[in-house]
Structure 1
């Protein structure tokens, strides 16, 4: 561009560049003066970009004030729009504020000029929306120039408040700089004159103290501080009167701030007589205003006006620079913070976290930690590097979500785990019906910033538009939230929510898959529903899910589970689960089902490898860790099984299912006293009775006491009521006929534990009986 002309302006030098354009120093030979010319970048030079440039010009042209830069001309040259404006020499307030802050008198002097400029803009119906110290210049003469009306807009009277970001920055994206954003803007209200007042309060506080009053190690923490914490204390040298002005500007309730900027001007002017600069203060001011006459750097006002794009969080102070990621091939998406202020919306924040994981997990070249593990860090005080080490990942994604009506706003940021370096961040906003497109866009941007190449199919999946019914989607997320409790009440509530979602949207395949999984959990994990009752319902829901969406990994995994437990169709189940893993290599449910199938069919090496893979994806999942212990147990690798039980109990010392595995191992090793210690469901009294029976009768006394417990409905839990468990007890007693009678009943009732009869160590005493081989054939298990 240098040496070319734009209309009557001859381009002399580049002054700066930004998201959508460049600013040049140019010469207006007609009037013999230098100007700043802002030029739209070629890639942004479409109709929308030119329209934004013209809108900005119209904003600036409405303002004529000594503390606001002057617009000279707007034009277009060779398809590239430009604005010519006042060129000034000076420094931004951000560069001028010393670490400890300015003298209060200087703060008042500058504050009056900033407030006066804002007052003029508001009188013209224009609000700034991005006031900050970087957008305020001070000339060598000490005059303030408020810059960057590129994000400004006209304030319409009686305009409804909306979460929509209908702005110069483009549809669907939040504008502004978070450290200066008012609480109501973070919560989705449209910026207005009162949010400019808040930003002015932040600027004045920063001038007094040398730092913004709300800070945090991440965007999430920063937003939380703005919404819920008081501002940082002002230095003691700040007078009570000036302190009162700043505190009123920083009221979280906009109704409690000043009504107009004119009132702020009057309040600051009233402080001037009290704050004459002493000579030492003037000397201090000269040190931080290092003007050197002709040697001063020419900083174009328009250099700061270059920002046409929405804020790029990665460029914010304290959030890293324009960093690039190395070869990040493993990620954890930490729980998105719920910024709604409503605890009842936690299900939505958790659901959005899981959705983002779901969008990233199918990328086979990227390891994405599953939901169960990342949810362990909800509200954690641990550092990013510490979390990354525990999860074994190279990158962390964190952020926040805020829902207002049918609008959703997500802020996401990418962090390089080892260095805790912030690589990228962005804000997104959409209608709730477009939430899947929003999640796919976030996932697509993340893969771009870790420089991950996507296959054509993966790229297509992340760009495919899919709308949802907002109410049905809300019900689906509530169902997922309750299902994750793995409790009887929670899983039954989940089924209810899924059914309501289907009533709203009969083609909701994911809710059908959720129902299928829920019935399996009630029978196999919770034990409050019989397999005879649960399995037909599970299979019917899986068939419906698969019919509605053959490309849904969850549907194939649900069908695999139904074929496994209901039909004992080993080949069909394996085909379905492998298809689920092809569609989504990171889906934890598919890995879990595949391990069950491998374990039941005696493929122990594959089973152990699959269980380890599931733990890689979900290292803090109790179920995955417990499942690996079962794989070792059924492979008769008891030492490895005990070691894995200990690792599981390190995650949760009270996880009863792991204790069941340990008790089974101790029984196989003949250590019945230790086995009793690891059966917490017995309670102290029954445990003591069992121990006394063992001490008096040895192994036979132990198994006789277990048989008595199984026949006492009042004390027998779900496990002891199962026919498979009775078969274990009879096998321990050497009562083969009774054992096989119990196994026959288990077969007829389709009990889940019977799937493992081919390899279960508890049935080893029956292996040489021909009836065991016959049972394995009836089960359809490979010999």
Structure 2
């Protein structure tokens, strides 16, 4: 039995596929599935129980002028489809692989109302005259029913039609009522349908820039890229994802680049009801993706009644510079490779010196490595500030360049007031941007205004619940409110148990509270989360042999070993010496950090490990030299 292609909803098991939109649902809850896997499923459902060959799938789904690795693309689509259905190739319940031939849908397919009606018509055809209808919307009734049964059938049909019309009107009204206004939005990672993993950076870049443009072109609260990216290839129902991200709506879609052409599909889903609000597809030249994304962002803003005043058309960006920037962003966020990312950011500004995002990427590269203690401040502070200043000059309408400039001013000049003005400028540009509040929390933590810093982190957490999940715990750590910090970190780890930064802050919280066994365990878990099982084993062995003091000694030795290969901040060495109560070594390391204007010095007063040197004039000279007032 084949399924009529005119049927819009096909049901099987606990699932149903809506053919027109490609939406897959399980028990009424929508399951996120890319466009091509949905098309594969639709073709298989047309002929349940029959083999659909790979060649048929190729002809139906991939146009002749699309140059991709078809086998890889089809295999990937089928795998994504199986992931969504909870199926497997080894023990299939839905899709059976016919080796070297194709696929067969093996689960029972439920017949819908249309087929039941067609069968009823066939059974009663001898009682109702077959009269042609000149208009498909006109109901033709027999003028002289030949039997009593005929009259009853006619009356029944008319009653059913009237009831059906009323029900359709009612459900349409109810559906419109269910689609509540969208005030907050998450852009989920766009699926790369090019069939080439090397194009993942392009899909990620398009996702990132659409997120940025929506924040710029609408009054919507847009969750951060980092928060949304954790749902790459997720098969959880969209209402669950929306609830976890704390948003009213979700944008999902796919992008496919083939040669010099780009095809992008987007749809907007209302989070709580899983209702389809808007959908559009775009086809553009690959050199014109910036205007494509701007058009899409404005369409979504208008659909949600959140569009801001018309802005000037998007400025032309050199396609090669734009591509280099997207590659850098992908390496930065997805592969955590800052050195290679920096090369691409540098390439972007060389190709187009007035490209604001390229300069922003460079500033963020320097700032991140300075805060990680892996870059000599004498080499990083000046270019960090110069790149941030350039980005602000080129496009002051974006909040991120102002945040980068805030950090560079504070790190390099220690000018708290001027740095905070840049941060406030970012908030003025986008009051819903969580990163600006998180930067302010850093500033308040350094100048001992901890209650204000905690308040800023709480605002950021409310705006972006799945963002930097360790931020509030860190502010509690700086404020020496260890119980609150531990409770918050543990809460975050329930949903993200392998977040290395949360585990790092939890280890510090335990250590400051004197819970050394728990601190060592959190350290071990942190290294495991980073994929560094060698260090995790070293921590475990050191604690077993000599307790937490042995763990600190191992850390000090490891830092010294690393310093032979790359720069290691003296502040990291000072903290290890301080935990071992080594006064001279602690002060020497702090003074060395001061001479290089190491920004990590800005927060040393917040750690109780240094309390034993607070009365030392050498220590106080370092603090005052950084422009800070002694706190203890």
Correspondence for 1:752: 599
Equivalent residue for 1:673?
A: 517
Q: Aligned residue for 1:776?
A: 623
Shift of 1:371: 0.7
Q: Secondary structure at the match of 1:414?
A: strand
Residues 287 and 560 (structure 1), Cα distance of their counterparts in 2 relative to 1, 3 Å cut? farther
Please state if 1:503 is matched with 2:350.
yes
The yes-or-no answer on 1:763 pairing with 2:610 is yes
Matched ranges for 1:566-715 at <5 A: 566-621=412-467, 624-680=468-524, 682-685=535-538, 687-694=540-547, 705=553, 709=557, 712-713=560-561
Most deviating of 628-637 and 576-585 = 576-585
How many Å separate the matches in 1 of 2:56 and 2:207? 36
Aligned residues: 524
CA distance, structure 1, for counterparts of residue 377 and residue 354 of structure 2: 27
Q: Deviations over 1:86-118 (max 9, x none)?
A: xxxxxxxxxxxxx9857xxxxxxxxxxxxxxxx
1:460 aligns with 2:310: yes
User: What CA deviation, in whole Å up to 9, does each residue of 1:377-436 have, x standing for no partner?
Assistant: 111110011111111111111122222344333222111111111112122333344433
2:295 aligned residue (428, 441, 444):
441
Q: Check whether the contact 1:328–1:450 (CA below 8 A) recurs between aligned residues.
A: yes
Report how far residue 288 of structure 1 moved. 13
State the partner residue of 1:514: 361
* Distance in 1, Cα, partners of 2:444 & 2:126: 71
1:548 aligns with 2:426: no
- Cα deviation, 1:270-315, whole Å, max 9, x if unaligned, reads xxxxxxxxxx989618769988759986639xxxxxxxxxxxxxxx
Cα deviation for residue 323 of structure 1 reads: 7.9
Q: State the partner residue of 1:397.
A: 251
> d(CA) in 1 for partners of 2:348 and 2:62?
37
Q: 1:486 to 1:636 in 2, by over 3 A?
A: farther
Question: Which residue number in structure 1 is paired with residue 282 of structure 2?
Answer: 428
Q: Which residue of 1 aligns with 2:338?
A: 491
- Give the SS at the match of 1:415: strand
- Residue 93 (structure 1) aligns with: none
User: Cα deviation per residue 1:470-516 (whole Å; 9 max; x = unaligned)?
Assistant: 221111111111111473xx211111111221222111111011011
Does 2:311 correspond to 1:474? no
Residue pairs, 1:733-744, within 5 angstroms:
733-744=580-591
1:357 matches 2:211: yes
Structure-2 change in CA distance of 1:655 and 1:332 (3 Å): closer
Q: TM-score, normalised by structure 2?
A: 0.72
- SS of the residue corresponding to residue 506 of structure 1 reads coil
Query: Are the equivalent residues in 2 in contact too, given 1:364–1:585 (CA < 8 A)?
Result: no
Partner of 2:182: 328
Is the contact between residue 317 and residue 355 of structure 2 (CA under 8 Å) also seen in structure 1? Answer: no
**Partners of 1:560 and 1:573 within 8 A in 2:** yes
Equivalent in the alignment of 1:558: 404
- Structure 1 residue 630, shift from structure 2 partner: 1.0
Q: Tell me by how many angstroms 1:730 deviates.
A: 4.0
Shift of the alpha carbon at 1:761? 3.0
Equivalent position SS for 1:529 = coil
Residue in structure 1 matched with residue 304 of structure 2 by the alignment: 450
Where 2:195 maps in the other structure, the secondary structure is coil
Deviation at residue 660 of structure 1 after TM alignment: 2.8
Shift of the 416–248 alpha-carbon distance from structure 1 to 2, 3 Å rule, reads closer
Check the 8 A contact 2:325/2:344 in 1, yes or no: yes
Distance 1:714 1:586 in 2: 40
Q: Retained in 2: the 8 A contact 1:434–1:466?
A: no
TM-score, normalization: structure 1? 0.59
TM-superposed CA distance for 1:610, in Å, is: 2.1
Closer, same or farther: CA 589–481 of 1 in aligned 2, 3 Å: farther
Please, which of 23, 36, 51 is the counterpart of residue 224 of structure 1?
A: 36
In structure 2, the residue corresponding to 1:378 is in which secondary structure?
coil
CA distance in 2, matches of 1:236, 1:709: 65
Q: Is the 8 A contact 1:214 1:232 kept in 2?
A: no
Q: What does the per-residue CA deviation read over 1:163-221, in whole Å, with 9 as the maximum and x for residues that have no partner?
A: xxxxxxxxxxxxxxxx9xxxxxxxxxxxxxxxxxxxxxxxxxxxxxx996995428984
Structure 2: distance between partners of 1:717 and 1:640:
38
Q: Does structure 1 retain, via aligned residues, the 8 Å contact 2:553–2:576?
A: no
Flag the 1:482–1:295 CA change in 2: closer, same or farther, 3 A: closer
In 2, distance between residues paired with 1:708 and 1:473? 42
Distance 2:20 2:443 in 1: 57
In 2, Cα distance between the equivalents of 1:255 and 1:547? 47
What CA RMSD, in Å, does the superposition of the two structures yield over aligned residues? 4.2
Alpha-carbon distance in 2 for matches of 1:326, 1:549: 35
Q: Secondary structure at the match of 1:540?
A: helix
Structural mapping, 1:152-191, within 5 Å? none
Counterpart Cα distance in 1 of 2:564 and 2:523 = 12
Counterparts of 1:222 and 1:391, CA distance in 2: 20
C-alpha distance in 1 between matches for 2:592 and 2:44: 70
Structure 1 residues 213, 545: CA separation in 2 closer, same or farther (over 3 Å shift)?
Answer: closer
Deviation at 1:616, TM superposition (A): 3.6
Q: CA deviation at 1:561?
A: 1.6
Query: Does the 8 Å contact 1:216/1:225 carry over to 2?
Result: no
- Look up the SS of the partner of 1:424 in the other structure: strand
Contact 1:519-1:535 within 8 A present in 2 as well: yes
Q: Which has the larger radius of gyration?
A: 1
Where does residue 92 of structure 2 map in the other structure?
none
**3-state SS of 1:582 partner:** helix
Q: What residue number does 1:416 align with?
A: 270
